[in-house]
Structure 1
Amino acid sequence: MIYIYNDYGGTHTTSMAAAYHLKQLPQSERKLTTDEILNINYFNKLTKEQFGRLIYHGKDEEGNLVYTIGRKRDKLVVPALKEMALMLQEKFHFKEKIIFSNTSPTVPLTMSLGGFFSRGLKIDFIGVPLLVNGAKQCCDNIYRLVENTKHIAHTYNENVIILQNEMYKD
């Protein structure tokens, strides 16, 4: 299987989701520490040139590949990727199941503001504390989102699954 966590920027909640998925973070709904958050691979580190690129995070304990992507405001990126995956599966008999899981619904306002200040305006002394605060607010939702994504991936028989995850909106 291939898991692709996606959201606007691809560097905050998606990186957290990939880290939970790969068991690089505590496997519980407890609040993360500031150090745990700041040490997540790619957290607040991607540049605007990396939007729209699949970022590989690793293989999970079952050998499944985990990626993230920042899609900006373009809601057509994931449906287009789904169509491409279906075409490749049909033409080349590619049988790998692909799961797109949207982490956007987990993003609290403080994280959005932190991302704007840190990534958009390059004002880290304002943005990073807001990002850390936002990550602490939403880490339990992201953990549950990842667990639900894995459950659906193992339960549904579709070759390509898109999860919008609206139930995680605050």
Structure 2
Amino acid sequence: MIYIYNDYGGTHTTSLAAAYHLKQLPQSERKLTPEEIMNVNYFNQLTKKDFGKLIFHGIDEDGHSVYTIGRKRNKLVVPALKELTLLLQNRFQINEKFVFSNTSPTVPMVMSIGGFLSRGLKIDSIGVPLLLKGAQQCCDNIYRLVENTKQVAKNPTNENVIILENEIYK
């Protein structure tokens, strides 16, 4: 199975989701510390040139690969990846299940502003504190989103590609 967490930039909520998925963060709904957040691989580190790239984060405890992707505002990226995946699965008889999980619903406004200031305008002195505040606000929702993603993926289905648009998990 291959998990791909996706959102606008691919560097904040997706990186946190991948870290939760890979058990690199505490497996609970508690608020993360600023140090825990800043130590997450790729958190606030990707740039414009990384949009659309699949970023490998690791292999989970069940041997499944975990990736992230920043898709910008383009809602066609995930459907296009689904079609490409189905084509490759049919052409090469690949039986791997793919799970695309959208982390965008977890993003609070303060995180969006912080990301724009830090990644877009390169004003880290204002952007990073806002990002940290936003990450602390949404980390419990991201944790629940990851747990739901894993549960849905484990449910028996005939679908080889699952797309989860998600909602805020409370």
TM, length-normalised to structure 2: 0.98
Give the equivalent residue in structure 2 for 1:162: 163
- Structure 1 unaligned segments of length 5 or more: list them: none
The number of residue pairs the alignment matches comes to 169
Counting only pairs closer than 5 Å after superposition, residues 28-43 of structure 1 correspond to structure 2 as 28-43=28-43
User: 1: CA distance between counterparts of 2:71 and 2:18?
Assistant: 16
User: 2: CA distance between counterparts of 1:95 and 1:8?
Assistant: 29
User: 2: CA distance between counterparts of 1:31 and 1:169?
Assistant: 15
User: 1: CA distance between counterparts of 2:87 and 2:162?
Assistant: 14
User: 2: CA distance between counterparts of 1:111 and 1:133?
Assistant: 7
Give the equivalent residue in structure 2 for 1:17: 17
Deviations 1:42-98 (A, max 9, x none): 000001000000000000001100000000000000000000000111110000000
Matched residue type, 2:70: G
- Structure 2 unaligned segments of length 5 or more: list them: none
Deviations 1:113-150 (A, max 9, x none): 00000000000000000000000000000000000000
Matched residue type, 2:164: L
C-alpha RMSD over aligned residues:
1.0
In the alignment, is the contact (CA less than 8 A) between 1:105 and 1:169 conserved in 2?
no
1:163 to 1:156, Cα distance in 2 relative to 1, 3 A: farther
User: 1: CA distance between counterparts of 2:147 and 2:120?
Assistant: 31
Q: Partner of 2:41: helix, strand, or coil?
A: coil
Are 1:123 and 2:123 matched, yes or no? yes
Are 1:144 and 2:144 matched, yes or no? yes
User: 1: CA distance between counterparts of 2:161 and 2:140?
Assistant: 26
Give the equivalent residue in structure 1 for 2:76: 76
In the alignment, is the contact (CA less than 8 A) between 2:11 and 2:44 conserved in 1?
yes
In the alignment, is the contact (CA less than 8 A) between 2:145 and 2:169 conserved in 1?
no
Q: CA deviation at 1:156?
A: 4.0
Query: In percent, how many aligned pairs have the same letter?
Result: 75
Matched residue type, 2:56: Y
